[in-house]
Amino acid sequence: MMRLPKMDYQAPATMSEACALMSEHGKEAKLLAGGTDLIVACKLRNLKPRLLVSLGAIPSLKGVRFDEKEGLRIGAMTNLSALHHDPQVAKYPALAEAAAAVGATQLQHMGTLGGNLCLETRCMYYNQSESWRKARTVCFKMGGDVCHVVAKGKKCYAAFSGDTAPALMSLGAELKLASSTGERILSLSDFYTGDGKDPLAIRPDEILTEIRIPPSAVKESSTYLKYRVREAIDFPLAGVAVRLAAADGLCGDCAVVVGAVASAPKLVPAAGELLKGKPLTEELIGQAAHEAAHAAQPVVNVCGATPTYRRQITEIMARRALTALARKLALI
């Protein structure tokens, strides 16, 4: 039986109280949202915080608001099940589909959007019990100077496996971060560092409070596809999010994002530029899908599929997603 280490626990009722706690305790504290990933990490001793700061009692962090001019505003503590069934979120299909793809139904009721965006990167040499890791040299992720995945690697290659991040990145979303010193806005691309050891560009005293998605175009749609071993429960081995807008029968704008094939979700500008302003054909879509596969950089750090297969399935999913959206918008 895995037991939690001894920790203190606080459940502030306001954002100012939560920010004060994070400012006081810094790296010794961890924010608790749904806990579906954090609690497991604590049991494995991957994380050993002295204090858990629960955000569940702060009403302002929950809920979905939509405005025609401002777009969608989502509180970071809104659970994934609520997103999947919200009629306003349905206007952004990629996000609704990504929320529905996270784990099983029980996990969607517990897990939050903010928590899914702030997931730790994963690696089969890191996500193990403390006793298992003791038999091996300490890796970059645990504070050592070696990578067990990439021979002579100079950094951590642990994979970011969140489902909602690629979808939100394709939709041009921004994040609002708050601390005792003020607030700041970050794009999704700037939020992820690409470093498996320290994957998030968030300070120890900051709290993700809100996700902002701009209004969609008049004729636009999006989708998210996920590859995993088991339909429910499993993290993605590869994921693709696509947003496509039509203008006068042509591709007006396109964003393709690949996920779970690197230490951060990656926008693929080459794919969007290839399609923008052109009539879509199967050949052109195939070229864009190939660009998505080229941007994927999986390594042997997860179980279930080889890097070669994950790259191949990324191309297949990108082609399927682009084709489905092109047909939906009557572009082919």
pLDDT tens string 268-300: 999 999 999 999 999 999 999 999 999 999 999
- If pLDDT is split at 50, 70 and 90, which confidence band does 43 have? very high
End-to-end C-alpha distance for the chain, whole angstroms: 55
- In this prediction, residues 61-71 reach a mean pLDDT of 95
- Residue 237's nearest CA partner among 159, 289, 321 is 159
Identify the burial level of 309 via C-beta atoms within 10 angstroms of its C-beta, where 0-12 means exposed, 13-18 middle and 19 or more buried. middle
Quick check: helix, strand or coil at residue 264? Answer: coil
Nearest 5°: phi and psi at 67? Answer: -135, 135
Fold of 222-328: Enolase-like; domain 1 (3.30.390)
Q: Could you tell me the pTM of the whole model?
A: 0.95
Output the pLDDT for position 1.
62
Output the pLDDT for position 223.
98
Flag whether pLDDT at 131 surpasses 90: no
Output the pLDDT for position 217.
83
- State what percent of residues in the chain have pLDDT above 90: 92
Flag whether pLDDT at 189 surpasses 70: yes
- The tally of CA atoms less than 13 A away on the side-chain side of residue 97 is 20
Flag whether pLDDT at 232 surpasses 80: no
Contact between residue 103 and residue 36 where contact means Cβ atoms under 8 Å apart: yes
Least confident of 68-82, 121-135, 191-205: 121-135
- Calculate the CA 98 to chain-centre distance: 9
**In the chain, what are the domain boundaries?**
59-118+159-213, 222-328
- In this prediction, residues 31-53 reach a mean pLDDT of 95
- In this prediction, residues 45-64 reach a mean pLDDT of 96
Tens digit of each residue's pLDDT (9 = 90 or more) over 233-248: 889 999 999 999 999 9
Output the pLDDT for position 205.
95
Structure tokens at 229: 């071993």
Flag whether pLDDT at 166 surpasses 90: yes
- If pLDDT is split at 50, 70 and 90, which confidence band does 13 have? very high
CATH of 59-118+159-213, one of 3.30.465.10, 3.40.630.30, 3.40.50.300, 3.30.365.10: 3.30.465.10
